Structure 1
Amino acid sequence: MSTATPLFRGTNLVKEFKTGSAGPFGRAKAFRAVDDVSLEVRSGETLALVGESGSGKSTTARLVARLMDVTGGTVEFEGVDVTRTSGAALKEFRSAVQVIFQDPYSSLNPKHTVERLVTAPLVYQGRKIPGGARAFTRQLMERVGLNPLHSERYPSQFSGGQAQRIGIARALAVGPKLVICDEAVSALDVSVQAQVINLLRDLQADEGFGYLFIAHDLAVVRQIATRVAVMSQGRIVETGTRDDVFENPTHEYAKTLLKAVPRINPDWDRRRREADAARTAEERAS
């Protein structure tokens, strides 16, 4: 792996939540949801953070995006410590780091049209919308595989997969460098999952941004991840390349988790690897 500065680096991240009020002689009890987690993401790669529900994955994602303050540890972006960033600097950071959430409908205001939803991040940032809101929105809709003429429709008028594409378009609007996918395909049908995963891969190939891909479905992770970090009870217990973690896990929890993954036909798996290698070679040559 390159020794260049990672796009994102979290070091010894800790997040505690109080579970009761302090007594007269002591501190309030606290639950440690994220416990000494260190991870990094480089441009053009996908780090998948996997584990059971309640393992701390989504809390970690919110710390990375600065949607939640850390209790301990540091958050760096492009080599700059942004752990306590606020004001204009925090706005700039949030332009560079975007989140695609699990439930597309709950993350899209049902009272707003697609045009307003997609351009909202730019408006919040106080940035000019290139070419005007309608043209800009239609261009992004076409890019994520939606009919650009539907920019005046509302979220309820789209299917789940289409609504998630709107969320992706909204994330792309500000030109992010890191995109956090927090269970972004888990609520979709299997066939739609494949379409959205292909879209995410194509966008990454075009733009070169990094993904932090939060998931519990390891079959999905195997399709998209470059590296994998396995999380249990707030800690990362194993990390490595996708193939290393899937083929040779060393931690007992990782081994148990991976036993639940449906076995892949060896011929199909070989063809997938060959296709991935050919695709990477083509992208490097272009």
Structure 2
Amino acid sequence: MSTPLLRATHLVKEFPVMGTGGVLRRPDTFRAVDDVSFEIDAGDTLALVGESGSGKSTTARLAARLLDVTSGTVELDGEDVTALKRSDLRRFRSDVQVVFQDPYSSLNPRHTVERIVTAPLLYQQRSIPGGARAFTRALMERVGLDPDHSQKYPAQFSGGQAQRIGIARALAVGPRVVVCDEAVSALDVSVQAQVINLLRDLQREEGLTYLFIAHDLAVVRQIATRVAVMTQGRIVEEGDRDAVFDAPRHEYTRKLLDAVPRIRPEWEAARRRNAALTAEGAR
């Protein structure tokens, strides 16, 4: 059996919170992620879904080593990366990149697109193939942006275009895994579809692996290979995309599906047929 490209095992993340006794009282802790495990094979997409506060974005940041774990491990291609020091993290950052929710807040407003896109390579202390200008233009064209706009600033782009800049920045170092943390949730529906199509094209052509964080199940259905449903810091259901959508096992998953009006009618019909058959078999 092949080793998953990205594996998280028994992840726990606790944050200190001040108790009601005031500043002199020893702080309590809040467990945002509680014993979460998952695996993603190379070239696949695992979607972590759940309502706001479910712990999915914190889990994503643990997997990307933007946060340190309280306990548990993160492995990339079989190597435990949980305790990597600063120098070794540079190598990890080449393999795992993040596309954030709000493109404007994640892009430096004082930097041009060229400087933004080439910054990860400079951090990696790597040369820029063909020079910064040619490298940026090629990446901009790759993500569907006009290469002639490489000297513009983030505020001069629409939200969808700014998110494409974020995707270009993530691609600059040639990652194997891209963590998309609510990467399309701030975009209009039509723009969401365009960015999802771009991500799917990039996955097919570059062999990328995605950890996709979302609360919109209609979006998840378009891109995910597998789905893991989170609530209160735990994964309560995981499985192949169609199995989770058409025959959810956990009550929380069923509630999530019932609450989303944009699920396509044919998906909803299939889910209701499976639910009816399950109920009939239980009688």
3-state SS of paired residue (1:238): strand
CA distance in 2, matches of 1:184, 1:28: 34
Mapping for residues 115-264 of structure 1, pairs under 5 Å: 115-261=114-260, 262-264=262-264
**What one-letter code is carried by the residue in structure 2 that aligns with 1:30?**
T
Match in the other structure for 1:6: 4
Distance 1:149 1:9 in 2: 40
TM-score (structure 2 length as normaliser): 0.91
Matched-pair contact (CA < 8 Å) for 1:22–1:29 = no
Matched AA of 1:89: D
Q: Please identify runs of 4+ aligned residues in structure 1 that moved more than 3 A.
A: none
Q: What is the match of residue 103 of structure 1?
A: 102
Pairwise CA RMSD = 2.0
Contact 1:104 1:167 in 2 (8 A): yes
Q: CA deviation at 1:39?
A: 0.8
Structure 1 residue 27: Cα displacement: 6.1
Aligned-pair CA distance for 1:208 = 0.7
Normalising to structure 1: TM-score of the pair?
A: 0.90
Unaligned runs of 5+ in 1: 271-286
Letter in 2 for 1:167: G
Q: What's the offset of the Cα at 1:44?
A: 0.8
- On the 8 A contact 1:22/1:28 being kept in 2, the answer is no
Is the contact made by 1:186 and 1:215 (CA closer than 8 Å) also made in structure 2?
Answer: yes
Do 2:217 and 2:263's aligned partners in 1 also have CA atoms closer than 8 Å?
Answer: no
Q: Distance in 2 between matches of 1:173 and 1:263?
A: 34
Question: Where in structure 2 are there 5+ consecutive unaligned residues?
Answer: 271-283
2:104 is paired with a residue of what secondary structure? Answer: coil
- The answer for the alignment partner of 1:68 in structure 2 is 67
Q: Which residue of 1 aligns with 2:273?
A: none
- The total of aligned residue pairs comes to 267
1:12-61 CA distances to partner (integer Å, 9 max, x unpaired)? 000001112699xx963111000000011111111000000000011001
Matched, 1:16 2:14: yes
Q: How far apart, in 1, do the equivalents of 2:266 and 2:67 lie?
A: 42
Whole-Å separation in 2 of the counterparts to 1:94 and 1:58 = 18
- Structure 1 pair 263–122 and aligned structure 2 pair: CA distance change class (3 A): closer
CA-CA distance at 1:263 after TM superposition: 4.1
TM-superposed deviation, 1:266: 2.9
Identity of aligned residues (%): 73
In structure 2, the CA distance between the partners of 1:22 and 1:9, relative to structure 1 (3 Å rule), is farther
The one-character-per-residue Cα deviations of 1:126-150 (angstroms, maximum 9, x if unpaired) are: 0000000000000000000000010
Distance apart, 1:257 and its partner CA = 0.7
